[in-house]
Amino acid sequence: MLLFTGLPLFLMELSLGQYGSAGPIMVWKCCPLLKGIGIGMLLVSTFVCLYYNVIIAWTFYTLACPSRTLCPGRVRHCYTQHFTRVLGVVNSKGLSDPGPVKWELAICLLVAWIVIYLCMLKGIRSSGKVVYVTATFPYFVLFVLIIRGATLQGSLKGVQFYLTPDWKRLLSAQVWNDAASQIFYSLGIGFGGLLSMASYNKFDNNVIRDTLVIAIGNCCTSFFAGFAIFSILGHMAWKKNVPVGKVADTGPGLAFVAYPEALALLPGSVFWSILFFLMLFMLGVDTLFGNMEAITTAVLDEFPVLRGNFKKKCLFLALLCFGFYLMGLLLITDGGIYWFTLIDFYSTSFGLIIIALFMCIGMTFFYGVNQFCQDIVDMVCRCPPWCTKLLMYFKACWVFFTPVLLLFILSYIFVDLYNTPLRYGSYIYPRWGRALGVCMGTFCCIQIPFWGIMAIWRESGTLKDRFQKAIQPLNSWRAASRQNDAPPEMVDVPYSVNLADADFTSQEWESNASEA
């Protein structure tokens, strides 16, 4: 999935954002027919921002009361009770019974959004400086946890469990779907954040080098982090005299129950747990930066007056964060975890894959894969020859391998949605809840045909002529690629202008009139 979907799509988003110097919506001046892709990306980022800061709120809550969450003795019972208290699943019967808001979590969520607001106040300049800390601190924590885990008895069993493959599971479509989810989430593909960040790059930045370094480094980091997790889970399994698979968990349970429970078995458990939850906080902030940057960049592109007025920009950002806070209160009620799981599952499910698929197909066959490769060559022309040669590999992926793999994953997701009911623990989601989740994902990807039809409708001529004009780049797209803003009087029209016979007849008539 990294080789045939992650790397090609990552390069496509970085190149598109860097060449056009625009956010997720404005960048589609290269092909107005595909504007809905950018809007769909923003909707996905909106859903992610809505629930992802709740994870940071949980982290704040855990850090604020280590004495209650790290009690000695009955560790499993203590952690289960704490996590249940945080999620509030005791007094709720399901989606239809959310119950009251947990005021402790409401305060933590408010603090989390204030932190995000302050970090993004000055745009990419402030968030870029914050990332120096939030991106490097997790490496330090992982390194420390790996060293500590290696000294524990039973850690080798955990590492062995982590590294021993079960080759038969490659025949399961679920494994491929999980791999795609990991790549999309860890690289941030399809959320619009890559387009926004790349729009601030210099035009001649080596985007191919960045793709290789970031994507491969990201996956190596994930592999590296596995040793920190499973070495300590192996120690926990050894103490309980059970297989490692029995203590491993998935989802929020791994971060807030299983792993902290294992840390609580170590000497100085409070210190190790605080270090771990600080790392979770840093990772959560990094994720929100990317999604919030996509939203703010797109809005500032559409309303340039906000970009030039710092007070108005601060007000907009404050209203945006406060709006997310109000909507996020639903997720910290007694039944908030049920809504959290619903949004988490459906907001980045088939909608995200469809957005990435149409981006790949649109740039390859509408904008033109040869033109797109030439755009990349124009940006990296001063780079080593191997960069341009590597484009042949990416071109093959964009044309064939990436769309085919995405279609395979998409087919499995639809079959899985139909056959497998959504669960949280023993709770089975009702049909209306699943229908709401499907509508959530559909709302994101339906923007593509809607805005495509709007782009065709705005043009003139026959349906074929309108379609041809709708896939042509606008004049301001070429102006942006030369790093020159379009003059205020410039009108966005298709890059190529087709003259009708009447135009030539009119010129001939005027010529004859002047001779007469």
pLDDT tens, position by position, 105-153: 999 999 999 999 988 887 776 666 777 888 888 889 889 889 988 888 8
| Contact yes or no for 354/34 (Cβ under 8 A) | no
Contact 311, 36 (CB under 8 A): no
Whose CA is closest to 337, among 49, 69, 61, 89?
Answer: 89
Q: Which residues of 187-204 are buried (b: 16+ CB within 10 A; e: fewer)?
A: bbbbbbbbbbbbbbbeee
286 assigned to a ligand binding site: yes
- Cα separation, 269 vs 281, in Å, equals 18
What would the two tokens of residue 479 be? 């102006």
Question: Counting Cβ atoms within 10 Å, is residue 25 exposed (0-12), middle (13-18) or buried (19+)?
Answer: buried
What is the distance, to the nearest Å, from the Cα of residue 324 to the centroid of all Cα atoms in its chain? 17
Q: For residue 369, what pLDDT is reported?
A: 95
pLDDT band at 416 (very low <50, low <70, confident <90, very high): confident
User: 171 among the known binding-site residues?
Assistant: no
Q: What is the pLDDT of residue 475?
A: 84
218 annotated as a binding-site residue: yes
Instruction: Of 172-186, 411-425, 458-472, 483-497, give the lowest mean pLDDT range.
Output: 483-497
Q: Choose among 433, 437, 435: nearest CA to 95.
A: 433
**In the Cβ-directed half-sphere of 385, how many Cα atoms lie within 13 Å?**
0
State the virtual CA torsion across 285, 291, 293, 296 in degrees, nearest 10.
-130
| CA 247 – CA 259 distance, rounded (Å) | 9
Helix (H, G, I), strand (E, B) or coil at 433: helix
Tokens, residue 237: 């399994």
CA atoms within 13 A on the CB side of 264: 21
Q: Are 248 and 254 in contact (CB under 8 A)?
A: yes
- pLDDT category at 457 given cuts 50, 70, 90 is very high
| pLDDT number for residue 77 | 46
Rounded to whole angstroms, the Cα distance separating 156 from 437 reads: 41
Q: What is the pLDDT of residues 218-248, one digit of tens each?
A: 999 999 989 988 998 898 889 888 888 887 6
